[in-house]
């Protein structure tokens, strides 16, 4: 079955800050986005790679690929106003039926096993999301500041890649954007379609703040 992955890197990275957009920051000498693309290529060397980048960063990325001798073939699509709009632009490059994953460009430590279990399960279940357990006690805080412990078993932490059949994801992304669409599963669920959960990997962190870069250096060392 034909496989695609849309790697979204069209955000602003405001929580990371700094001079270099976070997807281009080198971790142990290699830019984050190259690490992420290599993870998918290592899973399946025939998977079609679609990278979503802000228009103003696309020539920089091309230069970076030349500088690093990065040769993996990929299509570049334009970043949008929100993650939803970026995914929609990437999805326009998906031309055939099959399976399509959406992965955050800033999650370079996704394991090959997790990528495989997401695509394998999507062939049966149509909509698949990797999750990990909550490992700390969590509290719900009410608007008046009162709070209470809630049962952690009722919650999961959501990762990417989130993988779908092409037809389902295209149908979902024809909906009008609403702010609760923070990931792809939420967009598909708005159609009334259920989402199947598989186990993610703890290393598959989203590089969001400068602290995460320190963790990333350690994780890259362990590879
Ligand atoms: N308009 C957007 C917003 C986000 N993303 C991508 O979605 C992923 C998850 O978003 P996050 O890490 O939260 O990135 P930013 O939105 O860039 O971060 P911030 O909220 O700190 O600005 C990232 O790979 C980001 O580049 C995107 O492609 N287009
Ligand atoms: C899609 C996502 O990575 C799932 O955890 C996440 O929701 C994207 O990050 P954001 O902080 O919600 O933009």
Reported as a single tens digit per residue, the pLDDT across 110-142 is: 999 999 999 999 999 999 999 999 999 999 999
Reported as a single tens digit per residue, the pLDDT across 28-51 is: 999 999 999 999 999 999 999 999
d(CA 99, CA 112): 17
- Grade residue 205 by pLDDT with cuts at 50, 70 and 90: very high
Tokens of 180: 């609760």
Residue matched to tokens 């990333």: 216
Q: Which residues pair with 196 in a beta bridge?
A: 128
Size (the chain), residues:
223
Reported as a single tens digit per residue, the pLDDT across 46-99 is: 999 999 999 999 999 999 999 999 999 999 999 999 999 999 999 999 999 999
- Whether pTM > 0.90 for this model: the answer is yes
pLDDT value, residue 189? 98
The CATH homologous superfamily of the domain defined by 3-129+158-221: Spore Coat Polysaccharide Biosynthesis Protein SpsA; Chain A (3.90.550.10)
CA distances from 162 to 69, 110, 141 (A): 29, 12, 29
pLDDT value, residue 223? 83
d(CA 27, CA 216): 7
Question: Which of 50, 105, 97 is CA-nearest to residue 76?
Answer: 50
Q: Whose CA is nearest to atom 10 of ligand 2?
A: 182
Residue spans of the domains in the chain: they are: 3-129+158-221
Q: Closest-lying ligand to the alpha carbon of 79?
A: 1
**66 CA → ligand 1 middle, Å:** 25
Ligand 2 atom closest to Cα of residue 102: 1
Contact 11/83 with Cβ under 8 angstroms?
yes
d(CA 22, CA 26): 9
Return the percentage of the chain with pLDDT > 70, whole number: 100
Residue matched to tokens 């990929």: 74
């Amino acid at each position: 079955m034909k496989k695609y992955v849309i790697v979204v890197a069209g955000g602003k990275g405001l929580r990371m800050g700094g001079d270099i957009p976070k997807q281009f920051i080198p971790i142990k000498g290699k830019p984050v986005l190259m690490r992420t693309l290599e993870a998918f290529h290592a899973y399946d060397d025939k998977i079609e790679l679609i990278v979503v980048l802000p228009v103003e960063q696309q020539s920089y990325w091309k230069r970076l690929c030349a500088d690093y001798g990065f040769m993996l073939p990929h299509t570049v699509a334009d970043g949008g106003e929100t993650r939803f709009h970026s995914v929609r632009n990437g999805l326009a490059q998906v031309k055939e039926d099959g399976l399509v994953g959406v992965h955050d460009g800033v999650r370079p430590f996704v394991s090959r096993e997790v990528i495989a279990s997401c695509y394998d399960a999507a062939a049966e279940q149509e909509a698949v999301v990797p999750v990990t357990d909550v490992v700390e006690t969590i509290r719900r805080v009410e608007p008046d500041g009162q709070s209470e412990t809630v049962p952690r078993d009722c919650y999961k932490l959501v990762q990417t890649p989130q993988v779908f059949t092409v037809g389902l994801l295209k149908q979902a992304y024809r909906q009008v954007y609403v702010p609760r669409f923070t990931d792809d599963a939420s967009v598909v669920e708005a159609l009334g379609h259920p989402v199947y959960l598989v186990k993610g990997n703890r290393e598959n962190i989203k590089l969001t703040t400068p602290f995460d870069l320190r963790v990333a250096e350690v994780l890259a060392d362990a590879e």
